[in-house]
Chains A and B, each alone.
Chain A
Amino acid sequence: MATHKKTAPKKTSRASSAAKPAKKQVRKHQEQMLDEALEESFPASDPLPVDPGVTHVDNSSQLGVGDRAPDFALKATPDQTITLRQLLGKPIVLVFYPADWSPVCGDQVSLYNEMLSEFQEYGAQIVGISVDGAWCHTAFAKDRKLRFPLLADFEPKGAVAKKYGVYDASSGTTQRALFVIDGKGIVRWKYVSPVGINPGADGILDALDTLPKAGNA
């Protein structure tokens, strides 16, 4: 038995891959047809000249550590609104991220979703914010099995991100920015991640460590 350890498992892999591809192929085919149809209707034109090093961040409000976090009222689902004020009383982790449906499995929101019990130990509530609409958030949250709210900074687009100084007008999305707000609504830590780099959670946990435990906040 032990001598077959390499070959035995491989067989199962082939068997399972033979059983599954039909659905995948159909989807791939559909995607290809859609791509072709789009290409036909909207032929690619020369891209606008963009300097990749420059982001057009709206800095009209530059929120810093020690400042009061601006209140907001944003849709979490098509019929539920969440305000910052109602979250106060415990630490809040605000996660601004560029967009739902990022094509990576270990993306930022999925990581935080795995960490909810660790945030709970601090009594902290984590909230995601992007410019996607509430229906989009609902579908995304369902797909990724997210168990924390995603807020839609959708109309007027990016208004809350602008208040927090983390709107990127060139891409029309928020930056990848993290805020840790204490139970009284004061910004205690802030981090804006370089474009394309998922900041992880070490900074968030370090910041939560410096706060008084929930209940005393």
Chain B
Amino acid sequence: MSQLRRSVTAADHHQGPLDASIVVVEYGDYQCPYCGEEYPQLKKVQKHFGDKICFAFRNFPLTQAHPQAERAAEFAEAAATIGKFWEMHDALYENQRALDDDSLNRYARAIGLSDELIRSALDDAYIERIRKDFSGGVRSGVNGTPTLFVNGVRYNGERDADSLIQLFNEIA
């Protein structure tokens, strides 16, 4: 049974209290269509449980399969430096079909990233964090995207909102 080797801390991009009774970690790739499908499901689950759930996102870009995934992740990390990670994260998943550099620039500007921040994303300033997320994920048994960990254990079941809500009701 694969276990999360690095627990969720304040350094993670997270929504909800760190000591919530349900802690979900998603290892995701912004260009992965399955992550795109999962995005509204997780939103629904978060809405259902409110502050009883903590949701954290870690980068797992499959760069060979998805050429823009890493660049998109870099933009999200750049947004995080001004406290706008989730705005960028959401914009990326809501516009997953257009993740070319021009589109990324446009989303970044709309959210309020400065030219300098955008340049930092293009200059590999956040690549180390992204790679660290990736290798930590591999160590924890991430086997594709999205991979979810629920309270520290890799979740292999159905990922639709109803299934997750039912499961979380049992453990919450």
Contacts and interface: CB of A to CB of B under 8 A. Distances in A.
Given A5-B87, A114-B64, A12 B145 contact: no
A13 B112 contact: no
A16 B97 contact: yes
B85 to A, nearest CB: 14
Contacts of A9: 91, 94-95, 98, 103, 106-107, 110
Contacts of B144: 104-108, 110-111, 198
A126 to B, nearest CB: 13
B65 A8 contact: no
Contact of A114 (B62, B94, B98): B62
Contacts of B145: 105-106
A34 B97 CA distance: 28
Contact of B143 (A4, A105, A198, A205): A198
Interface residues of B, number: 39
A144 interface: yes
Interface residues of A, number: 37
A202 B141 contact: yes
Nearest to B64: A145
Nearest to A194: B156
Contact of A12 (B87, B103, B109): B103
A6 B93 CA distance: 12
A113 interface: yes
Contacts of B33: 105
Interface string B130-171: 000011001111111111000000101000000000000000
B141 A12 contact: no
A146 B110 CA distance: 37
A2 B143 contact: no
Contacts of B87: 5
Given A9-B106, A106-B29, A200 B91 contact: no
Interface of B: 2, 5, 29, 32-34, 62-66, 87, 91, 94-98, 103, 106-107, 109-112, 134-135, 138-147, 154, 156
